[in-house]
Amino acid sequence: MKGEQRIKELQTMKAIAEILNESTDLSGMLNCVLRELLQLTGLSTGWIFLINEKGEYKLAADVNLPSALTRVDKHPMCNGSCWCVNRFNRGQLSRAANIMECKRLEEAIEHGYGDTAGITHHATVPLSAGDETFGLLNVASPHKTLLSEEELALLEAVSLQIGTAIKRIKLVEKEQEHIILSERNRLARDLHDSVNQLLFSLMLTARGTKEMTKEESVKEMLGYIQELSQEALQEMRALIWQLRPHGLEDGIVCALFSYGKVLGLEIETNVQGVLNIPHHVEETLWRIGQEAFNNCKKHAGSKSAKLMIEANKHVVKMQIKDQGCGFHYHEQEKLPSLGLAGMKERAELIGGDVNIHSEVGLGTTITVRVPLK
C-alpha cells in the first residue's frame, strides 16, 4: 500500500510540475495546481493570496471555500486584514507554518456569515523564488488542527515550484511589454518616415501649384487641399506622439507641454511639489492628458489650455482647463464620449479618479487624482 501511495504522489507531483512549466495564464495555473495539491494531500480547502511589494493582497485562486467565505463575491476573502498576511508583510514567514487560527473564519462565525464547514485553522506557506516573495498558499480541512512534518515538507516543495512559475510568468509578461513597446516605436518611426513626409510633400505641392495658377476656382481648391494636408499632418504628428511619447523621459510636464505644441495649443503650466512619480502613474497621466488636449483642439474650439500638476508623497493631482465652448454635464449623468469614459477607466485602473466639470460657454476642467502608496 505504501508503494502504491508513493507512486500516486509522484504522479501528482509530475502533473503539478507539467502545469507549472507549461502555463502562461497565472490565474488558471494557480487554480489547477491548487486542485491537484488538495487531491494529493487529502485536504479539502485551499486558497492563494498574491501580495505585492506594498503589502497589498488579492485572492488569486481558491478551491472549495466554505460558504461563509464566499458570500457577496467572496467579500470576506478579499477585504480586511488577517494574521497570515500580516506575518508575511512583517517578514515573519520564511517557511511553511503549521496550523494557524484563521481571523477570517473567526469573523465569519462571529457575524453569522454562514457555514464554515468545520474549518477553524489552516496551514500557510510562503510562495517564493530565490530572494523574491509573491504571496501565500493556505490549505485546510474540517476539524484538522495539525499537519505532519511530511505534509509540511510536501507543501514547501510545491510552493517553491509555484513561486518559480510565478517568476517565469512575470518575466514573460515584461518581455511581452517590451516587444509591444518596440513595435509601437517601429510603427511610429515608419509613420514619421513615410506617411508624415508624404503629407508634408503634398502640402508644399499644393502651395506651390496655387502660386502658379491664375484661375480663382483652382486656387480655391488648392487652398482647400493645402488646409486638409496641414490638418492631416497635425493629426499624424499627434498619432506618432501617442505611439512614442518623445519627452516623457524628461517628465510628464515636458511631455504634455510638447504635445500641446504639436496640436497647435498654447499651454500654460503650473507645477507644485517634487514630481517623483512612478512610471505606471506617469504613463496614465500622459494618456489622460493627451485625450484632454485632443478635446481642447477638436471640440472645445480653444487655442490654449492650462496644465497644473501638484504632487506630494501621498497623491499626485493633474488639472487641465480650457476656456472653450464647454458642454452640459453633471457627475450623475453618463459621459458624453468614449474619450472621457476612457479617462475615468485609466485612472480607476491605478486606484485614481477623474472629475469632469463643464458648462456651456464656460469651458471644461478635468481633474485627475492618483494616490501614491
Of the spans 4-8, 44-48, 100-104, which averages the highest pLDDT? Answer: 44-48
* Residue 335 CB contacts under 8 Å (≥ 6 apart), including other chains: 329, 341, 344, 356
Composition of the chain by helix, strand, coil, percent to 5? 55, 20, 25
| Count of C-beta atoms within a 10 Å radius of residue 363 | 20
**Is residue 49 pLDDT above 90, yes or no?**
yes
Q: What is the pLDDT of residue 291?
A: 87
More confidently predicted of 55 and 11: 55
- CA atoms in the 13 A half-sphere facing the CB of 143: 0
**Is residue 161 pLDDT above 70, yes or no?**
yes
Q: What is the pLDDT of residue 173?
A: 75
Sheet strands side by side (includes 304-311): 266-272, 304-311, 315-322, 363-371, 353-359
Band (pLDDT 50/70/90 cuts) for residue 5 is: low
What domain range includes position 363?
A: 249-373
Please check whether residue 185 lies inside any domain of the structure: no
115 and 56 in a common domain: yes
**Is residue 209 pLDDT above 70, yes or no?**
yes
260 and 227 in a common domain: no
CATH number for the domain spanning 342: value is 3.30.565.10
Cα dist. 29→4, 32, 62, 124 in Å?
Answer: 27, 5, 12, 19
224 and 279 in a common domain: no
Q: Is 326:359 a contact under the CB 8 Å cutoff?
A: yes
148 and 107 in a common domain: yes
112 and 36 in a common domain: yes
List pLDDT tens digits, range 96-133. Answer: 777 677 888 888 888 888 888 888 888 898 998 888 88
CATH number for the domain spanning 14: value is 3.30.450.40
pTM of the model: 0.54
148 and 22 in a common domain: yes
- CA atoms in the 13 A half-sphere facing the CB of 127: 24
Cα dist. 372→74, 230, 292, 315 in Å?
Answer: 27, 41, 22, 5
List pLDDT tens digits, range 81-96. Answer: 888 888 888 888 878 7
Question: What is the rounded distance in angstroms from the CA atom of residue 317 to the CA atom of residue 122?
Answer: 43
Count how many domains the chain has: 3
* Across 145-154, 235-244, 284-293, least confident range: 235-244
163 and 304 in a common domain: no
